[in-house]
Amino acid sequence: MTPEEYSKSNPHSMRSVSHKEDIVKGYKCPKCGRAVYKTDTKGYFAQCFYCDEDFYKFELDIYGRRN
């Protein structure tokens, strides 16, 4: 699911994320391996729209280190 699709399917989301500058570079989702995006959720570092989950920085895989 792209950020655009997520925003359209989740009208209650805090903001519409659809810009590449919202991607947190160098990190990917530890569950699905997709890009993660900036989050507005207090205390969290990034979010994955596909998994619909927010993550702390230590939870994320750094590109190149994922098996």
9-25 burial, b at 16+ Cβ within 10 Å, e below that, comes to: eeeeeeeebeeeebbbe
pLDDT value at residue 8: 60
If DSSP codes are grouped into helix, strand and coil, which group holds residue 21? helix
Which one is predicted more confidently, 1 or 61? 61
Rounded CA-CA distance 49/45 in Å is 14
pLDDT score, position 61: 78
Alpha carbons 32 and 14: distance in angstroms, whole number: 23
Q: Could you give the CA distance from residue 61 to residue 67 in angstroms, rounded to a whole number? A: 10
Residues 23-60 have pLDDT tens digits of 998 999 999 989 999 998 999 999 998 999 999 998 99
